[in-house]
Amino acid sequence: MAILRFSFGTMGSGKSTLALQIHHNLRERGLQGILCSQLDRADGRVSSALGVSADAVEVGPRLDLFEMALAVASRRGRIDYLVCDEAQFYLPSQIDQLARIVDDLGADVFAFGLLTSFQGELFDGTRRLLEVADERVEVQVEARCWCGERATHNARLVDGVQVYDGALFVVDDPEDHVVTYELRCRRHWTAGDSGVRRQAGALLDSDAEPAHEVA
């Protein structure tokens, strides 16, 4: 019986690596499938932090995933699976299309994505996946905050300062600000604390002259 499985985790937890591995393994078994990435996210490829990548279909807001899968099934004779990376950015209606692929075409769907945005709220696509998925699995590779605690939140920094507002998806900043992301535990995400002051203090301590004993 086909399933819709949603695997979620923070940045750096190995979601894309796992997506590529599943796609490779199923394809090696002779199954017919599609690897999908988010439009404007990776130039039509799924790439992992380990340097592995593969060509993929770019999923934009106008793409009907069910119709795409149906066309592939008609052309190839069948479709066995879809692997969907960055699924948090899919529209809720596209998540419903993934569920229909499972139910009507009998193909497995393996979706991968983040739970929450830099604002600390569920993505629309993630929320719908949690509602309709047959299986919900947290990726077991635990990323860490700078303090060493388990990272649960993704922080967006603009010019080194954490922000909580703004567009969910940023490709290029028109004002040439430097936009970066960091993993944080909930406490340091809430505090907007990147550990810079603590790190600076540690450097100062290491540079200080050792104290001399008084005879």
Query: Residue 74: phi, psi to the nearest 5?
Result: -70, -40
Report the chain's C-alpha Rg in angstroms: 21
Q: Which of 96, 105, 137 is nearest to 1 (CA)?
A: 105
What tokens does 130 get?
Answer: 């949690």
- Please tell me which residue in 28, 58, 86, 149 is annotated as part of the active site: 86
What span, in angstroms and rounded, lies between the C-alpha atoms of 154 and 157? 10
Whether the Cβ atoms of residue 114 and residue 88 lie closer than 8 Å to each other = yes
Q: Which of 58, 71, 84, 166 is nearest to 118 (CA)?
A: 166
CB atoms within 10 A of CB 190: 13
Query: Is 86 considered catalytic here?
Result: yes
Catalytic residues: 86
